[in-house]
Chain A
């Protein structure tokens, strides 16, 4: 059972997972714990 199932039905899990992935890549393109930000090539 996915964590998001507490708030949304299970059929939305994939949507949540990919949304988080996209948001992380958009706002922290080097990953959550990157040492220094450099442009990804």
Chain B
């Protein structure tokens, strides 16, 4: 690792700077960028309009999914539990907010309180899902979580119009209903009270964090993202975080070493779910409306794509993955479509092929993510900004020097191109104290690590 870092000194603008200090500089720069971005966007749009700049509302969605990706990263990246139904907790957080802060039930509790209720509700459901599935691993766990992720949005949709009655044999008395409306069904719950702060200014008598005032909403969601990120960093370095990583690597061995795997896995589910509830509470209040349609299986998959793309287990990576995927999804494809669509459509018109005549690049977003993932699994399975242990596991220790020496030039070239694309971000060298396995790796000859059996769970 140190040898690899030393071999690229010239391209790293932070060479020789203390890592913590460098991270602080990067974070501060990013925060300043966020603060000025709503103003900067108008300037960029006017003067450099040929580049598809994301507008503020796109950045808000990006940051929301950053929170979701960080939460899923706890479950999948740290504890190694494959969760394909993560969107369920997002829905639970959003609906909790809608129940407690909307005219739907006539309850209007301040969002600043409701958000913690939503976090708690999501955590409770995380434990409810986690407890019965403790003995399941790998693909079996994936199926159960997938089923849970399918059930929850459908239940929320169906509870818009339902009647709970005793069976006819017991008298058929109606317990709830008839035709009770708990969740608004397909119409959803609209409106929801947005978060407000009683600070008067040019914007009115109070700040409203809704999509009517995207600038303030951006500041709020970035603050929430920073809070989530900070908690995740502390969790990763905590005793619990190291227990999760030990479970991820080998659950049986972790249990034999005295780790309470039951508590650790339940906490992973609960904490992962609570961040999802956090994001859900913000989304519901920011959009001032929620619909069961927005919590489909696709959304779960999108979050999984984000963390795999960014580098599973890497906090920096999954946030960048979330921003990248949502930026492509919401801004880039629409921008690229105006160049790609017309020639394909006219080709379809002349040849009479309907598929081409109706072609719209935006509708092919999941195909594009699928291709990107497939290519990534071949070229860079550990993600764009991986943690050091994942990279070492996939390629052998000391990535660039080892690989060029090892003769696998294709992978080395892929490495190099990414280093060139974002040298300051990729050249982290990893945090040796952050991961459970790195101390072990440092003392093990590279060949042993490369040849050992990799764990078969989803890394």
Contact = CB atoms under 8 A, between A and B. Distances in A.
B138 interface: yes
B158 interface: yes
Interface in A15-41: 15, 18-19, 21-22, 25-26, 29, 39-41
Contacts of B151: 14-15, 18-19
Q: For the complex, would chain A's binding face be called helix, strand, loop or mixed by DSSP majority? A: helix
B56 to A, nearest CB: 37
B143 interface: yes
A36 B335 CA distance: 57
Contacts of A15: 151, 154-155, 158
A32 to B, nearest CB: 14
Given A11-B158, A14-B150, A14-B154, A22 B144 contact: yes
B229 interface: no
B143 A25 contact: yes
B147 interface: yes
Q: For the complex, would chain B's binding face be called helix, strand, loop or mixed by DSSP majority? A: helix
Given A11-B158, A12-B158, A15-B158, A29 B135 contact: yes
Contacts of A29: 135-136, 140
B12 interface: no
B256 to A, nearest CB: 14
Contacts of B137: 39-41
Contacts of A25: 133, 136, 140, 143-144
Interface residues on A, range: 10 to 19
A40 B140 contact: yes
Interface in B219-269: none
Interface string B362-383: 0000000000000000000000
B147 A40 contact: no
Contact of A40 (B138, B148, B155): B138
Contacts of A12: 154, 158
Interface of A: 9, 11-12, 14-15, 18-19, 21-22, 25-26, 29, 39-41
| 7 shortest interchain CB distances as A-B pairs | A18-B147, A26-B132, A22-B147, A40-B140, A18-B151, A15-B151, A22-B144
9 contacts: A11-B154, A19-B147, A21-B144, A22-B132, A25-B143, A26-B133, A26-B136, A40-B136, A41-B137
